[in-house]
Amino acid sequence: MIRLHDDTASEQRIGQRDLTHWPSGVGRWLVHLAHRLRRVASAQAVLLVTAGVGLLLVAGATLAGLGVYDAVAEHDGVAGFDRPVLNEAISLRNARLDSVLTGFTHLGGPAGMTVIAAIITALMVWRWRSRTPLVLMLLAVAGSLTMTLVGKAAVGRVRPPLGDAVPPFEYSPSFPSGHALNSTVIAGLVAYLVVRRLESRLARALTIAAAAAWAVAIGLSRVFLGHHWLTDVMFGWAVGLAWLLLLITAHRLFLTVRESHRSAATAS
């Protein structure tokens, strides 16, 4: 049986940056709260509680953002360029490109991203003998799926007309784009896990660029094929990035309180 461990000391850094160092006032305040929680719970509990609170904050901000979006869309503001962008996409279509992008966009769907995330997570766990990829990926996927369902249920926006879409057609609510949201979260998390193990600045930059390119390409493929309006995708990117950053913050707090506890134990 494979014995799994938590993050090693080398994984507490990205290049020269120490992930347990918080130079900002807000960061130090978060660390203070995490230390108070650590007095009555484990470092792992700090991670789970912080991630849970972060999910509630992002979900609340999502619902608030939906209200703003509705108000603007009613006056042809944000949504005012959805139709022109879709018309431009329609003008660029051809049978070969439609087929290629249809296959590609399926990779960012619930089934495709689940398989991709499972394979990558399993490889990282096996190669690194670490439980961190599994724990963070489960939290990431659970949060992104929750926010996708909440957003779709709250808005219920209709997708572009079927006459403007490339088959196979989709009928669930359009806003936000689950493909864009989930791809942003999963690709971003994989990049975060990988860059902590890379020594080369160029390799880290390329890893982050590849993750961003994946999320952008999946989102734009949804618009090109007429399965989403551009604002659906933009909102998916924004919410996905917010959840990713909060999840990374939760993990950094876990590393911080764990390191502090270890230092205190060594000193005593």
CA–CA distance, 160 with 79 (Å, rounded to integer): 12
Percent of the chain surpassing pLDDT 70: 90
Q: How many CB atoms lie within 10 A of CB 171?
A: 8
pLDDT in tens, 35-80: 888 888 787 888 888 888 888 887 777 766 666 566 555 555 556 7
Hey, what amino acid is at 250? A
Torsion angle (degrees, nearest 10) of CA 143, 145, 146, 147:
90
Predicted confidence at residue 29, as pLDDT, reads: 92
CA–CA distance, 225 with 216 (Å, rounded to integer): 14
Torsion angle (degrees, nearest 10) of CA 133, 146, 254, 189:
40
| Catalytic residue chosen out of the listed positions 21, 179, 251, 261 | 179
Q: Taking the CA atoms of the chain, what radius of gyration do you get in angstroms?
A: 20
Residue 265: pLDDT band by 50, 70, 90 thresholds? low
Predicted confidence at residue 263, as pLDDT, reads: 63
Predicted confidence at residue 171, as pLDDT, reads: 86
Predicted confidence at residue 227, as pLDDT, reads: 94
Mean pLDDT for all residues in the chain: 87
Residue by residue, DSSP assigns 123-136 as: HHHHHHTBSHHHHH
Query: Does the active-site annotation cover 35?
Result: no
Predicted confidence at residue 65, as pLDDT, reads: 64
CA–CA distance, 186 with 216 (Å, rounded to integer): 13
Please give the structure tokens belonging to residue 202: 């160029």
Q: Contact 255/20 with Cβ under 8 angstroms?
A: yes
Which residue has better confidence, 213 or 80?
213
In whole angstroms, how far apart are CA 240 and each of 68, 89, 123, 132, 145?
A: 18, 24, 24, 20, 10
Asked if the model's pLDDT at residue 137 lies above 90, the reply is: yes
Asked if the model's pLDDT at residue 199 lies above 60, the reply is: yes
**Cα diameter, the chain:** 71
Asked if the model's pLDDT at residue 87 lies above 60, the reply is: yes
Beta bridge partners of 14: 17
| Catalytic residue chosen out of the listed positions 106, 228, 251, 261 | 228
Verdict on whether the full-model pTM lies above 0.85: yes
Kind and range of the H or E run holding 215: helix 201-224
Domains, the chain: 42-255 (1.20.144)
Query: Does the active-site annotation cover 32?
Result: no
Asked if the model's pLDDT at residue 4 lies above 80, the reply is: no
